[in-house]
Each structure stands twice: as structure tokens, then as C-alpha cells.
Chain A
Amino acid sequence: MHRHQLDARNMLCPMPVIRTQNRMATLSAGDILEVRCTDPGALRDIPSWCRINGHEVLDSRTEDGEVVVIIRAGHQVGGS
């Protein structure tokens, strides 16, 4: 299990979701990805993307005006 970080600040939706998707495609099942965004829409969209693609959201919160989403990769990684 590896921890990874993704900086998606100053991007507007859907770019944070697309970057998350593309990064998740490079991870292995069980890996953790922490995504940081400034677009508040990401708080809803990234968890939604995770639900339909079989990844687990471990935490999502707003911290100092930034959205932080922590994801554990499910088995459907790769191939987006």
C-alpha cells in the first residue's frame, strides 16, 4: 500500500475529477490518494466518481478553504 498526493488546486470542475481519475488509473488496489482542490464542487463530484468506479472515500472535508478527499483504490484501477 502506497500513499500518493494530487494537487488539483485552482482547477475548476470537472478537471479535479479528471485528474483524480487519471491518477487513480496508475495506482494499485489498496493504495491511498489524497486530493486537494479549491473548487467546492469537488467535494461532491470526486466522491460521486469514486462510488461509480468502485473506490472508497475514506474522508472528505473542507480545510482552510480547500477541499481534501482521501480515497482508497478499489479493484477497478487502471484502464480509464
Chain B
Amino acid sequence: MDQIRRAVALISGGLDSLLAARLMLDQGIHVEGINFYTGFCVEGHTHAIRERRRTKPLRNNALWVAEQLGIRLHMIEVVEEYKTVVINPKHGYGAHLNPCLDCKGFMVGKAREWMTAHGFDFIITGEVVGQRPNSQRRDALPVVARESGAFDRLLRPLCAKLLPPTLPEQEGWVDREKLLALNGRNRKPQIALAEHYGFRDYAQPAGGCCFLTDASYTKRLSDLWSNRGHRQYDLDDIMLLKVGRHLRPAPNFKIIIGREEGENRYLSGYRGRFVHMAATSHRGPLALIQGEPTAADIDLAARLTARFGQGRHAGMVTVEVTDPHGGSKLLEVVPLASKEISEDWYL
């Protein structure tokens, strides 16, 4: 009997990688999934943090895809290694701070290492020629295959017929005739295929698979970098950018204000790292202060914190300001009027 060939599938949680893996299973290939956690992934976080989204059940889409396919999924944290991709991408950024081409090369490269270490034969992705402006241009696909070191062991089942035959096709491990020739941004063929296989309720991310394609998120990230004077970050930095209102009234400090209970709870986990404040005379948000605020800045931050709580129309609000070591003081402040908040402060 022929040896069963083994493929590792990059599973993002979206429809394309689900279908690509399914096509391989149809051809009798043993498939296992791999999913990388960069810290910027859209998965989970904001759902977990924000209370109001809880009407929808929380789920991790990559795990959901693996369950639909009945395959194992290996989830790999790459937060540290991924920094080089984000900070200094060789091929530059897309519309925002998304280094998609470098990112694809990095992820396929990690999958190649995993494939080699685990004795697998090839790698599959859900890429489609021309679907995304930068990383899935026809001339970009060979770049990913080359820079990842995967070369002809990288198969894209959804568009393979438009590309030169890869090793799995040449060796007859997979039948090229049963692969697809999808091309461009039209999603109808994928939707029809999902229907054919009976996949429902799959995730449909708008834009991209990570926060680096999000305009408001990347505005915050750019602000973080320019205020630090360098582009380093840690996981807490990039998580905090996803939570709360962010306002920078002056270059030397910024304030993060929780928008609801879930966010306040999440921010409270950082009380040991930042000056923080909350109204005591009225209900209201928790706010964290990052940077080097002066006494006048703290006063302004307290007025802002009061503005976003239930005391916003009160004549005076008491705000407790606490330093990271727990020392605290009470400030009596007049909530800032909305016209006193410059639009430019919002990140």
C-alpha cells in the first residue's frame, strides 16, 4: 500500500484555510493544523475583554475549524520572534502596519521547521492568487515559498492549478486535477464550496486576520512607537492598545479609560504597573496613565476620568489617584466639558 503522506496546514480560522485542508483530506492526505499566535491576532481578546460582546458565544475560530475537519491543531506562540517581522519588514507594510508578505514568509517558515521536526511531507495554505493586494499577488506567492525555505513543498490547494506544479503534485501524492484555480477577490466560489461541504457559521473576518490591518489600532501602535522613540514592544503593550479609549493630551503622557465593566476589570490587572485613577463619589471608569505626567497632567487626567463617569454633569467629582505602589490621594475636580477635549487627543 502507498505510504500515507502528511501535510501540515496553516489554519487561520477563516474559510479559505478550512477549505484548503478539506481538499487535502478528500485526497486521503493526513492533515494536522498549525496556528500561530503573534499577539496581534483578532481571536479571542476583545471578545474576552468586552462585556457587551458576550451575547455571542466565545470561540476560537482556529479550534472550531480543526473540529469541523476532525484534525489535530497545534497552537504555537511566536510573540517574541514575530517582533522582527512587525518592526522591520523587508517588504514593507500594506495599507496600515500589516507586514503581510513578511508575515506569510515567517509563518510558512515556522511551519516548515515544524514539518521537518515532525516528519511531515508538505505544507498547505488557503492562499488564493490575487485575493489580497499585497501578499497574495501572483508575483508574491513565489517570494513566500522561497523566503520560508519551503520551496516546492508549499502547496496552495485553492489556486494550485494557476501555479507551477509543486513536489506533492509531481510525486503524485496529490492529484493536481482535483485542485482548484481560484483567483481574485470574488468570494463566491469559496462560499459555494463551503455550502457543498456543509460548513456553516464559519468566521468571516473583514479586512485581515490581525489588528495590524486595523486603522485605529495601528494609529495607537504608531503613537506608542513614536513616543518611545523606538519600535520595541511587549505583549502587555500590544494588548493594552486593544482596550479602552486612548487619549494623549500631551506628548509626555497618555490616558487609557475603560469603556465598560469588562474593560475596567481587564485594566485593573495593570494597577501595579501604572498610575491609575477612578472616581469615588460617582460610578465611573478605571483609567491608567502611561508616561511621565506632571501634577497638572494628573489633574487633567482626573478631570477626563470624571468626564467619562456618571458624574460628568456634576459640579465636582472626587477622584482617587493611586501610584503603582499603592500610595493614593483624593482629588476634587470639575469634570472636563466635552468641548474642552480636543479631537486630536483621541488615538
Contact = CB atoms under 8 A, between A and B. Distances in A.
Given A10-B269, A18-B37, A18-B77, A41 B60 contact: yes
B67 A51 contact: yes
Nearest to B37: A14
A17 B67 contact: no
A49 B239 CA distance: 23
Interface in B55-101: 57-60, 62-64, 66-67, 70-77
A45 interface: yes
B118 A52 contact: no
Contact of A12 (B35, B49, B66, B72): B49
A44 B58 contact: yes
B139 to A, nearest CB: 33
Given A13-B43, A13-B44, A14-B44, A41 B59 contact: yes
Contacts of A18: 37, 75-77
Contacts of A10: 269
A48 B60 contact: yes
Interface residues of A, number: 22
Interface in A4-31: 10, 12-15, 17-18, 21
Nearest to A45: B60
Given A13-B60, A14-B60, A49 B73 contact: yes
Q: By DSSP majority rule, is chain B's interface helix, strand, loop, or mixed?
A: mixed
B164 to A, nearest CB: 33
A10 B273 CA distance: 14
B110 interface: no
A75 to B, nearest CB: 13
Interface in B269-327: 269
Interface residues of B, number: 30
B219 interface: no
B192 to A, nearest CB: 26
A53 interface: yes
Contact of B72 (A15, A40, A43, A52): A52
A78 to B, nearest CB: 11
Nearest to B47: A41
B18 to A, nearest CB: 14
B63 A52 contact: yes
Contacts of A17: 60, 63, 75
Contact of A40 (B48, B60, B118): B48
13 contacts: A12-B48, A13-B43, A13-B58, A18-B75, A39-B48, A41-B58, A44-B57, A44-B58, A45-B59, A45-B63, A48-B60, A48-B63, A52-B63
A21 B48 contact: no
A62 interface: no
A67 B49 CA distance: 15
Contact of A21 (B44, B70, B74): B74
Interface in A31-79: 39-41, 43-45, 48-49, 51-53, 76, 79
A60 B73 CA distance: 21
A48 B67 contact: yes
A12 B41 CA distance: 11
B250 to A, nearest CB: 30
